[in-house]
Structure 1
């Protein structure tokens, strides 16, 4: 059975997580954060997000240096709007610290 492209991409991304993503995953896996269950590299609204909890509806994105590029910032802002339209709160963590979009 062939999976949608975002599912295949999510599987690949789980194998190549950044150090920051690995550290955060150790903190949010197995319902360690207020009992909320998170998934890593999971499809949401046609995108693959770094971490998602469906109850509450939260997406956490860990942004590396490539997200500092102006074109990437525009893409990220549009992506955030689409994900938020699905009812999720999107939190981004980057070099400058956590911020809510």
Structure 2
């Protein structure tokens, strides 16, 4: 693994997820994160990091953005999410989480929260 935690063993699984994004993930990519729309920063989709696949990541800022669907409300999935979040934080990443509902019904609010976080992270460096 390189310093961004890239795990090439998960590459084919990540490619599959990239081609089968959820509606909310596709919306966030199209309207906020793709094509350097978010403050000129490059985000990557379905990026293998450590033993996980991050929905979106800006490697420059070590910022991970996760979009949680209904299944993430289940206790087992929620516990896995928290473990993933802890491991990513311990590797130096900052994590933002949004629900499918937030992305699909409040995209402007989601974009503003991402922008606030980016400004905050840039201010720390």
Normalising TM by the smaller chain, what interval?
A: 0.7 to 0.9
The 1:53–1:77 alpha-carbon spacing in structure 2 relative to 1, beyond 3 Å, is same
1:5 positional shift: 3.5
By relative contact order (CA 8 Å, sep 6+), the higher-ranking structure is: 2
Q: For the residues of structure 2 that align with 1:45 and 1:36, how far apart are their CA atoms?
A: 22
- In the superposition, the TM-score normalised over structure 1's length comes to 0.87
- In the superposition, the TM-score normalised over structure 2's length comes to 0.71
Aligned-pair RMSD on alpha carbons?
1.9
Q: For the residues of structure 2 that align with 1:95 and 1:9, how far apart are their CA atoms?
A: 21
Q: For the residues of structure 2 that align with 1:4 and 1:32, how far apart are their CA atoms?
A: 27
Q: For the residues of structure 2 that align with 1:54 and 1:34, how far apart are their CA atoms?
A: 14
Runs of 4+ in 1 over 4 A off after TM superposition: 95-99
1:39 positional shift: 0.2
Deviations along 1:34-73, one digit per CA (max 9) or x if unpaired, are 1111000011122111000011110000000000000111
Which consecutive unaligned segments of at least 5 residues does structure 1 have?
none
Q: Do 2:24 and 2:100's aligned partners in 1 also have CA atoms closer than 8 Å?
A: no
More strand as a share of residues: 1
More helix as a share of residues: 2
